[in-house]
């Protein structure tokens, strides 16, 4: 197991209420490329992959739209990938997740991979399937924890506003399968997701921004609790990446913006679409 003494020792301290990133994600990603072993870099790339996936869908919808610069793949890369896939339908892509090709062909042919889900949630489903195949126990547990939170919040939202839960739940783990069919008041997932009661209590808070904040604090607490005995390891670096992502999500978010996002969420639910958040 690789140890990264100098890298970890030199990382600036981060707190959930930081008003700016002490280490920009794009800059940190470049440092990791130059520092980590190939195996550990692949793990870091998996955590950053949400930006690649979001950019991929953005590009497929509109080739002229702005792409998040944190993503490793940018417009010229996507142009080459699209050209390659259209020349050879069975082409095997290198250096990108295999589900990118699967998703692109389904999108172009207008043949959904999951009938009840929006294109955003279909891609998110593929992303989580890929992430949950990770061999690192901590990172795999993190993705499942994040997936469970997303699905429980989505199920609660659907129940509250009377929308079809089938259009909101993603993934195929035990919690997701229960949430698709349960009518139990507490959703019946506590035995498989120990933080379920906390998530449900947070979901009932009136203030939208405060709910989001509490959920991210719950995630931060989980990260801390699961790395208590880790020192200078890839797990510490993985958690640091995720914490930077959590902070980064809040930097542009003001009350007015939060309320606007909430209104969009409700409108999207009416159209059987769930807003994806791959944090």
Task: Check pLDDT > 50 for residue 277.
Answer: no
Q: In whole angstroms, give the CA distance from residue 16 to residue 274.
A: 26
253 domain residue, yes or no: yes
What domain range includes position 130? Answer: 23-270
Q: What is the pLDDT of residues 115-126, one digit of tens each?
A: 889 999 999 999
276 domain residue, yes or no: no
% of the chain residues with pLDDT over 90:
74
pLDDT attached to residue 197: 96
Q: What is the pLDDT of residues 209-261, one digit of tens each?
A: 889 999 999 999 999 999 988 889 999 999 999 999 999 988 876 545 555 55
2 domain residue, yes or no: no
How wide is the angle at C-alpha 99 spanned by C-alphas 146 and 95, nearest 5°? Answer: 100
pLDDT attached to residue 274: 39
Count of structural domains, the chain: 1
90 domain residue, yes or no: yes
8 domain residue, yes or no: no
User: Using 50, 70 and 90 to split pLDDT, how confident is the model at 83?
Assistant: very high
Largest CA distance in the chain: 53
Q: What is the dihedral of CA 272, 275, 277, 278, to 10 degrees?
A: 40
17 domain residue, yes or no: no
277 domain residue, yes or no: no
pLDDT attached to residue 184: 92
Whether this prediction's pTM lies above 0.85 is answered by yes
175 domain residue, yes or no: yes
pLDDT attached to residue 262: 52
């Amino acid at each position: 197991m690789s140890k990264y003494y100098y890298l970890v020792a030199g990382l600036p301290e981060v707190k959930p209420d930081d008003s700016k990133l002490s280490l920009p994600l794009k800059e940190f990603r470049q440092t990791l490329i130059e520092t980590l072993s190939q195996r550990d870099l692949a793990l870091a790339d998996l955590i950053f992959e949400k930006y690649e996936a979001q950019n991929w869908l953005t590009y497929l919808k509109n080739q002229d739209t702005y792409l998040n610069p944190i993503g490793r793949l940018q417009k010229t890369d996507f142009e080459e990938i699209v050209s390659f896939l259209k020349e050879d339908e069975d082409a095997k892509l290198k250096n990108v997740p295999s589900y990118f090709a699967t998703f692109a062909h389904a999108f172009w042919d207008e043949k959904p991979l999951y009938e009840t889900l929006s294109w955003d949630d279909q891609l998110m489903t593929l992303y989580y399937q890929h992430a949950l195949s990770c061999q690192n126990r901590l990172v795999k547990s993190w993705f499942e924890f994040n997936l469970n939170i997303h699905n429980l919040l989505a199920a609660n939202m659907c129940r509250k506003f009377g929308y079809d839960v089938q259009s909101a739940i993603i993934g195929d783990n035990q919690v997701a399968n229960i949430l698709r069919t349960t009518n139990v008041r507490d959703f019946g997932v506590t035995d498989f997701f120990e933080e379920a009661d906390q998530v449900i209590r947070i979901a009932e808070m009136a203030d939208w921004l405060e709910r989001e904040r509490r959920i991210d604090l719950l995630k931060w607490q989980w990260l801390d609790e699961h790395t208590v005995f880790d020192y200078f390891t890839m797990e510490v670096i993985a958690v640091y990446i995720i914490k930077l992502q959590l902070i980064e999500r809040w930097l542009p978010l003001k009350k007015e913006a939060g309320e606007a996002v909430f209104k969009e969420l409700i409108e999207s639910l009416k159209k059987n679409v769930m807003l994806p958040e791959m944090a």
